[in-house]
Amino acid sequence: MKLFDVYPLQDITIDKARGAWVWDTAGRKYLDMYGGHAVISIGHTHPHYVKRVTAQLKKIGFYSNSVHMPIQEELAEKLGKVSGKPDFQLFLCNSGAEANENAFKLASFATDRKKVVAFTGAFHGRTSLAVAATDNAKIVAPVNETDHIIRLPFNDTEALKQCFSKQGKEIAAVITEGIQGVGGIQVATDKFLQQIRKLCDTHGAVFIADSVQCGYGRSGRFFSHDFSGVRADIYSVAKGMGNGFPVAGILVAPHLKPWHGMLGTTFGGNPLACAAALAVLEVLENENLMENATAISKYLTDELSQFSGIREIRGQGLMIGLDMPAEMGSLRQELLSKQGVFTGEAKPNVIRLLPSLALTRQEAGVFLKKFGAAYQTIHKSILTQTGG
Ligand SMILES: Cc1ncc(COP(=O)(O)O)c(C=O)c1O
């Protein structure tokens, strides 16, 4: 059997990783400023993480959700503490899309309504209603098309007010990322998030904070939505939660009440996933990684702002977008193939930096040096082409 060919691939095979570094099968070392797509939160193969997951595997890897699982309770307790949401309830699942699907379902059950407000530039996953809420017609299959989604312009408080004044009684939920990732590192304004909170309160709708990419400490706060001082009703989490182990969840405000059969999952919250998620939170706390993300972010953005060719630097913490002019479109490939640096991208010309939150100042310095070299190469080739 062949693999279903769904991704354009770099001709690289990674088979070893440590901290912010990965190695290919030929032994070449790369700096991972991409974090395997914002997934690596505490660093690759962190010793505490490896130890905790290995110990759990030796004890028991899986049992179904039909029995008590103290490790789930331990995770809920720890996550409540580290995230600053000790009064919330935790439902565990396996991926970001699944977390958002459960958030929609819960909001719809709670309000007995069908409409979900989602925004331009949003990405919420590839399944059912999550993909319908995602602003990319190309990945919405006919079977996913629905009139349950109301699409509004991102960061537009007036459009939001108008929509609620017309359709407030039909709206089950509003979903937004605190920082749009796939949408090109666009930060939601405080005013926008506060307006969502206000309108949801007035009209009895549920505020879903998609924190799959911007959450789990990446922004320097546990949830990037925290910067605006708002408290959402549901936070969806995944990616950094397991540092590579597939684990996700929704944090649910106390006023949303569960009933048996409302939500469910086979694999969600299995002991191995919980061990991985606990290891992440322990390291996040013990190594002060949110503070580190803030400090390294400042160093990176201060230094990067010296490059006059970068049109705009956006983001918070270690979720940074470098908006490049179209003629510098090959910079990302130059970084990878010549400088050995993985970065992410967003269309049309944004380089996304999503490294481990444990990135050191020295490693950030290595990145800046390599970035400078790649930038100079591209800059020179533009000058040559234009005869400048
Ligand atoms: C903001 C956001 N929400 C949801 C998802 C979907 O997560 P998953 O790929 O784990 O289903 C992603 C994935 O990139 C994301 O960035």
- The pLDDT mean for the chain works out to 97
Dihedral sign, Cα of residue 195, residue 197, residue 199, residue 202: negative
CA dihedral 360, 79, 174, 110 (to 10 degrees): 170
CA–centroid distance, 120 to ligand 1, in Å, is: 16
96 in contact with ligand 1, CB cutoff 6 A = yes
Residue having the nearest C-alpha atom to atom 7 of ligand 1:
96
238 in contact with ligand 1, CB cutoff 6 A = yes
Report the pLDDT value the prediction gives residue 387, as an integer from 0 to 100: 79
Rounded Cα–Cα distance for residues 177 and 193 (Å): 10
Question: In 10 A of CB 6, how many CB atoms?
Answer: 6
Find how far residue 200's CA is from the centre of its chain.
Answer: 23
Phi, psi of 150 (to 5 degrees): -110, 120
Residue range 197-243, pLDDT digits in tens: 999 999 999 999 999 999 999 999 999 999 999 999 999 999 999 99
Indicate the pairing of strand 341-342 with strand 29-32: parallel
Residue range 153-174, pLDDT digits in tens: 999 999 999 999 999 999 999 9
CA distances from 11 to 1, 7, 26, 30, 350 (A): 21, 12, 12, 14, 22
Q: How many residues does the chain have?
A: 388
Give every strand in the sheet of 350-353, ordered side by side.
312-316, 319-323, 350-353, 344-346
Q: Which of ligand 1's atoms lies nearest the C-alpha of 214?
A: 1
Q: Shortest CA distance to 118 belongs to which of 83, 146, 90?
A: 146
Q: Shortest CA distance to 251 belongs to which of 108, 129, 70, 92?
A: 92
The crossing angle, in degrees rounded to 10, of helices 70-83 and 271-286 is 30
Residue having the nearest C-alpha atom to atom 16 of ligand 1:
213
Widest pairwise Cα distance in the chain: 72
Residue range 91-118, pLDDT digits in tens: 999 999 999 999 999 999 999 999 999 9
Rounded Cα–Cα distance for residues 155 and 219 (Å): 18
Residue range 369-380, pLDDT digits in tens: 999 999 999 999
Report the pLDDT value the prediction gives residue 385, as an integer from 0 to 100: 85
Residue of 6, 212, 235, 347 with the most ligand 1 atoms within 8 Å of its CB, for mutation: 212
Q: Shortest CA distance to 108 belongs to which of 173, 49, 176, 158?
A: 173
Residue 104 CB contacts under 8 Å (≥ 6 apart), including other chains: 116, 129, 130, 133, 172, 173, 175, 208
Rounded Cα–Cα distance for residues 176 and 183 (Å): 12
pLDDT at residue 388 above 80? Answer: no
pLDDT at residue 256 above 90? Answer: yes
Residue range 14-47, pLDDT digits in tens: 999 999 999 999 999 999 999 999 999 999 999 9
Mean pLDDT confidence for 343-348: 94
Confidence of residue 143 (pLDDT cuts 50, 70, 90): very high
Residue 67 CB contacts under 8 Å (≥ 6 apart), including other chains: none
Report the pLDDT value the prediction gives residue 386, as an integer from 0 to 100: 82
What percent of the chain has pLDDT above 90? 97
Residue of 98, 124, 225, 241 with the most ligand 1 atoms within 8 Å of its CB, for mutation: 124
Report the pLDDT value the prediction gives residue 383, as an integer from 0 to 100: 87
Q: Which position has the token pair 């086979």?
A: 266
Report the pLDDT value the prediction gives residue 3, as an integer from 0 to 100: 97
CB of 154 closer than 8 Å to CB of 119: yes
**Which tokens in the block code for residue 30?**
């790369």
177 in contact with ligand 1, CB cutoff 6 A = yes
Mean pLDDT confidence for 284-306: 98
Residue range 43-98, pLDDT digits in tens: 999 999 999 999 999 999 999 999 999 999 999 999 999 999 999 999 999 999 99
CB of 61 closer than 8 Å to CB of 272: yes
Q: Which of ligand 1's atoms lies nearest the C-alpha of 248?
A: 10
